[in-house]
Amino acid sequence: MPGHDEAGLEDAIRGLTDVRARRPEAIREAAGRRKRRPLLDETGRLMLVAADHPGRGALGVGGDEHAMADRIDLLRRLALALARPGVDGVLATADLLEDLLLLGALEDKVVVGSMNRGGLQGAAFELDDRFTGYDASSLEAMGFDGGKMLCRVDLDDHGSVATLESCAHAVGELAERGLVAMVEPFWSRRVDGRVVNDLAPDEVIRSMAVTSALGPTSAYTWLKVPVVDDMARVMRATTLPTVLLGGDPARSPEATYARWAEALAVPGVRGLVVGRTLLYPPDGEVAAAVDTAAALVRPGERAGAGVRDG
């Protein structure tokens, strides 16, 4: 990150509490002077690091239920990832984006704010996913590039229709301002009381069809979809720009990267939005994991010195 070595970054992160207590207006000031960039560069590809999971109580990575609970460690990992070549920006909740603003980590980056975090993980009301984060007007005021919304549909849960309605309103409000609406759709169900997303290709296609139609216009709508089997057929379900989500790592890194590479080659796929897989890799080497993913998004370029082939 510009202006900070590793020790300086740690000091800057620990100093955030004092800045927030003494000069809360510094957040708005940092947003106002932030250097911005177009959403897409000349390659037409996009790689974002995601970190909005804690906002709905989802702190786990793999077998560690509290991996994302240490905010200082999470910010250090995010700052490191954002400083790597080939990383276009970040997707996060307001608290994290404001910390990153104060650290100077969002200069010349694409910034997408997370909008609905009310569907807390494990809650009885999880599928009534209220908009408790950003709204379109606050994203515009901060000079950010768009808003992301999770849209899970369970045909047996009445809360899903409230989520659909809220997402439809958000899509329209973002479009009025020329901001991207990044919609993450899932066809879901409860298994032993727990919400499970159905990753069968036909159900992913169904979720894409429903969410693509949300709102009075789809002009600014992007989809954020999981990597599943038969991605070529899945991507024939939409003409909307689409990015792939990483999810909670459940495979070896090599198998995950190979699966991403195959999906990134499918027409219509624009890039990756990945969080836990890159921020908490099994070997702890965040820079190397990020560089590998960046090289997959733009295979004609080497994203950084730590890029691993394959």
Q: What is the CATH number of the domain that holds 37?
A: 3.20.20.70
Q: 40: domain range?
A: 6-297
Amino acid identity at 175: A
- How far is it, in rounded angstroms, from Cα 172 to Cα 178? 10
Q: DSSP 3-state assignment of 28?
A: helix
309 is a domain residue:
no
Q: In the chain, how many domains are there?
A: 1
**Positive or negative, the Cα torsion across 94, 96, 99, 101?**
negative
218 is a domain residue:
yes
60 is a domain residue:
yes
Class of residue 103 by CB neighbours under 10 A (exposed 0-12, middle 13-18, buried 19+): buried
306 is a domain residue:
no
Q: DSSP 3-state assignment of 56?
A: helix
Q: What is the pTM for the complete model shown?
A: 0.93
304 is a domain residue:
no
302 is a domain residue:
no
Closest CA to 211 of 240, 235, 178: 240
Instruction: Label residues 188-208 b or e (16+ Cβ within 10 Å = b).
Output: bbeeeeebebbeebebbbbbb
129 is a domain residue:
yes
pLDDT tens digits in sequence order for the chain, 310 residues long: 455 567 688 899 999 999 999 999 999 999 999 999 999 999 999 999 999 999 999 999 988 999 999 999 999 999 999 999 999 999 999 999 999 999 999 999 999 999 999 999 999 999 999 999 999 999 999 999 999 999 999 999 999 999 999 999 999 999 999 999 999 999 999 999 999 999 999 999 999 999 999 999 999 999 999 999 999 999 999 999 999 998 766 678 899 999 999 999 999 999 999 999 999 999 999 999 999 999 999 997 654 433 333 2
307 is a domain residue:
no
- How far is it, in rounded angstroms, from Cα 231 to Cα 10? 41
- What's the token pair of residue 33? 């002077």
- How far is it, in rounded angstroms, from Cα 254 to Cα 245? 17
Q: DSSP 3-state assignment of 20?
A: helix
